[in-house]
Structure 1
């Protein structure tokens, strides 16, 4: 809807509202420029310019036409960004979404986000979008490719924990996970129901619960696999996300990881995390609010998914 309104030139920015309501002050609430236009919101406002500069420091595509991005007219700029590569279109759309949210917080809540907070929110959503696209691509890939993309047992002497979150709304969320040994055998699984503000928050709560379950079993070497690359980055560099909305949740998980054991974090494709994904969906839809169920054997409804991870186990 944001993009549709932007293309049609009907976003309720100060300039458009002033044209319909002459008494309305078209001032930009973020920088106090006298007139807030769409190009000002998404590019020319100092807050927006700083956001794009920070983004380009991390994600500038090779050979990117910076002149067209920063100097073209609103119509030409929109055309330039939406006819670019798929990767850049994804970056651009997620970026303007967060700039619009930042602008609305300034207008309706009189709250100014720090630049790093806006960028961190963008970074998480951008990687979640890429993960979703990767999952769709994996689902439509050839049967040969699907055979090669399998869950792999941990290294000798290690255990492996796969976790995932399932989120629809604040009060409709859950998580799940499974720990397996070096032979790929099921050790313990869980499904939990909880409140979560976002999909990323649900993933973090599932990771936290899974780590606590494993820690209670006195495991000393653990491989943690998750399908959210952005969360892996945040857990490995928590200080960079102290001001993020998820900062406290990240800190909670990191405090468990830093206990007296070795935890290695890996990112995997969503198709490889199938068992954890189904346990998370079970937690959201089948477990009572605030409760957790432990599974010492694979639940019947996902046994085939578990067995297909290690084909030879079907004969066990």
Structure 2
């Protein structure tokens, strides 16, 4: 499987694998297991918190991806179903505008979006990065991993 060859740390590969399987601890999954009071997204009140909500569809993630995905590819990017979304991005042969391979960048971005969400859940909104700060962090960290 392509996940295990991604040029990112092992913990990010594991997160991507779990996300594809629908096994990361979203509020929907936690509510099903009686570990959360509500299945709703922490940021998008009124929307169930699924894997795609956290990593793509939440207003926070949408802000982030809309600045990175070329305009002509945004429709497909934002409308692909769960497994297709991962497959398309992990099998891409493209690079970002700064020369970083897209699958590695995509994986790093998913990791940092997830990490930011869990920070919010455990420490509150004031402890999280803003969307522009997260965007900068992803660019820097992806470049470091791509160059190593």
How far has the Cα of 1:23 moved from its partner? 5.9
* 2:27–2:36 Cα contact (<8 Å) kept: no
Higher relative contact order (CA 8 A, sep 6+): 2
1:232 equivalent in structure 2 = none
1:50, distance to aligned residue in structure 2 (A): 0.1
Number of residue pairs the alignment of both structures matches: 127
Mapped to 2, the partners of 1:19 and 1:119 lie a distance apart of 32
SS in 2 for 1:65: helix
Alignment of 1:91 with 2:99, yes or no, is: no
Equivalent residues in 2 for 1:1-316 (5 A)?
1-21=14-34, 24-56=37-69, 60=70, 65-85=73-93, 87-111=101-125, 112-132=128-148
Where in structure 1 are there 5+ consecutive unaligned residues?
A: 133-316
Write the distance in 2 (CA, Å) between the matches of 1:23 and 1:107. Answer: 11
Q: Which has the higher strand share?
A: 1
Show structure 2 runs of 5+ residues with no match. Answer: 1-13, 95-100
Residue number in structure 1 paired with 2:10: none
CA distance in 1, matches of 2:116, 2:35: 25
Q: Which structure has the greater CA radius of gyration?
A: 1
Q: Give me the TM-score of the superposition, normalised by structure 1.
A: 0.38
RMSD: 1.9
Q: Deviations over 1:9-35 (max 9, x none)?
A: 101001111111176211211232331
TM-score after normalising by structure 2: 0.77
Structure number with higher helix proportion:
2
Native 8 Å contact 1:30 1:106 kept in 2: no
